[in-house]
Amino acid sequence: MNPSISQRILRQPLAFLITLVILILLTIFGPSEKTLGAHLSLVLLHGAWVWSGKLAFGLAALFGAAALLWHTRSYLLQLSRALAYTGLFFWLTYLPMSLWVMQLNWGGFFFDEPRWRIPFLFGVIAVLLQIGLWLFNNHWLTAASNLLYGIGLWWQLGGIQNVLHPDAAVAQSDSLLIQNYFLILLVFAVVFGAQLTLWLFERLRPAQT
């Protein structure tokens, strides 16, 4: 699977840095509102971050299913692994970001909040799972595990009951500025995820050939 010119550009270290700088600047100079004030941009960034992680794990599941169906095409498994590692990166950085957002907006930590408790549990499972898959290094086990994990993650997060966490705050907002700002953050977070996935894919390829 030969990389295109765009893929070569996307996975360069400078591209990572540029995307991160853009995300940082967007967060610093983001909009504010009456309730959350200047903390709004960080809240929206943490929302974009978790959605990027969910997307990465979901795609890892899809490529895991494809790797089970077409097991002779090794690049499908490599993509599944790279996407799972990308999702894990987003998840492990989202969790402390979530604690920071809790502290800023609620004045403390509420560990019984389902929006914290369930993602934290899935974060622990993901770390242990990927360590185990790395140790066993089995095509079928990796593909099937990424598939089942992605399904479980989306299923559990889709049915979460909120306590203090607001329900779909961006979607329910009347401000087009806030909605568009969130979409911009999400786009750049996804671009960063694509860069990280391509970089990981390149490094996983020799180990699988």
Give the tens place of pLDDT for each residue, 36-66. Answer: 556 788 888 988 999 999 999 999 999 999 9
Give the tens place of pLDDT for each residue, 6-33. Answer: 556 566 778 888 999 999 999 888 777 6
Band (pLDDT 50/70/90 cuts) for residue 1 is very low
Q: Which long-range contacts (CB under 8 A, 24 or more apart) does 98-106 make?
A: 98/46, 98/50, 100/42, 100/46, 101/39, 101/42, 101/43, 101/46, 104/39, 104/42, 105/36, 105/39, 105/43, 106/164
Q: To which residue do tokens 């929006």 refer?
A: 115
DSSP H helical ranges for 70-175: 74-106, 114-136, 139-158, 169-172
Cβ proximity of 142 and 114 under 8 Å: no
CA 51 centroid distance within chain: 6
Ranges of each domain in the chain: 36-208
